[in-house]
Structure 1
């Protein structure tokens, strides 16, 4: 009896391994598409070329299709029957809603960091602001944009609240559909980093009320810069 049941258990194990492998490959494809959106290689309205992406990643089209379905649920893509998946276009009104929610979450993050963030985490944030300041002086908008993303990831992580971090990333993923547009000139990146410096001043002072307010103001400023870019394009 034991021998007869072993093949079934073996098959079940193989199926589980294959399922996990498919899930891993889909995650790899999903992350690749996210990065292409963040870096501007994929823009609103662009079609996802499943065959090209599968060849590039060295995987089959199945995981790519699964990744597209996942990103559609996350609000980054949309699909059209018989045409495939496309990068979603975010309206100004939709962006406003997301920025409002982002402002509330980042405000809470600022308060939490001031209350319980480690000295090491805050010192790391200060170093990141200094790196961005060098990018501002070099008029390196592309470099600043990358450093800015890393800074905000570290900022939210410093709040030590996984639930907040998860919700925040869902919002920011969607804002990547147009967020780069708000940081394209020397004046905008300079103002943005001045706001970062004010945030760090509040965090270093361990002032939760001031930290929350400056975090909210920074997000509001980001939306204002985005609006300006949309209406002057």
Structure 2
């Protein structure tokens, strides 16, 4: 559990990768804070504090903030600054409907042309998530879940699909955590993951497409039920 009230406490310049541009460093840092729940809907993004922690100037941070605004994660409030966007349930539903269609296509593509290595990696992640479920460790489960879905879409071997899907799920970071905070929900979620990887292992394109769509649709139901 996070001990500090400072949402930026886990960041430092030590995480900087030299090949990244400074604005990309800042952008990924803010995305990470939103993904792990340190920055929540309605929170203000403190550009000065973030720049200081990352050891960069405010310019790249400001550029990253504007990029995230265009991506739909942040919203500008006149004379107040930039805030994490509050995504409505209706907006989330629209995004989940599109995500479901893309996920179904990805499942079909992976079953047809995904590599055995890709599928084995996904199976291993499901096993890791089982361990998190057994410990009622929602935080670890959420992190592994993000990794699972990122690798899942990457295994489809379609860069256009991957780019479109990632734009959608970045906005859904604003709400996805709240559907997975209960032990009951993470258990059901991983059972659905197991159905997906079983279909992929069998190279059953129809079953993989169906399992992917059902998982995404159920994900939205968990968010809606969480209120």
> Normalization by structure 2: what TM-score?
0.90
Runs in 1 of length 4+ with deviation above 6 angstroms? Answer: none
- 1:179 and 1:120 mapped to 2: Cα distance? 28
1:33 equivalent to 2:25? Answer: no
Partner residue in 2 for 1:93:
90
- 2:182 and 2:76 mapped to 1: Cα distance? 34
Partner residue in 2 for 1:174:
171
How many Å apart are 1:81 and its aligned residue? 2.1
1:139 equivalent to 2:146? Answer: no
- 1:64 and 1:79 mapped to 2: Cα distance? 14
Q: Which structure: larger Rg?
A: 1
User: Residues 138-157 of structure 1: matches in 2 within 5 Å?
Assistant: 138-157=135-154
Alignment match of 2:110 (pick from 103, 109, 113): 113
- 2:47 and 2:100 mapped to 1: Cα distance? 35
1:223 equivalent to 2:220? Answer: yes
Deviations 1:61-81 (A, max 9, x none): 111111111000000001122
Structure 1 SS opposite 2:75 = strand
Give the CA RMSD over aligned residues: 1.1
- 1:170 and 1:115 mapped to 2: Cα distance? 24
- 1:211 and 1:92 mapped to 2: Cα distance? 27
**Bigger proportion of residues as helix:** 1
How many residue pairs match? The answer is 209
Deviations 1:132-159 (A, max 9, x none): 1111111111111111111111101110
Unaligned runs of 5+ in 2: 1-17
Partner residue in 1 for 2:39:
42
Partner residue in 2 for 1:192:
189
Unaligned runs of 5+ in 1: 1-20
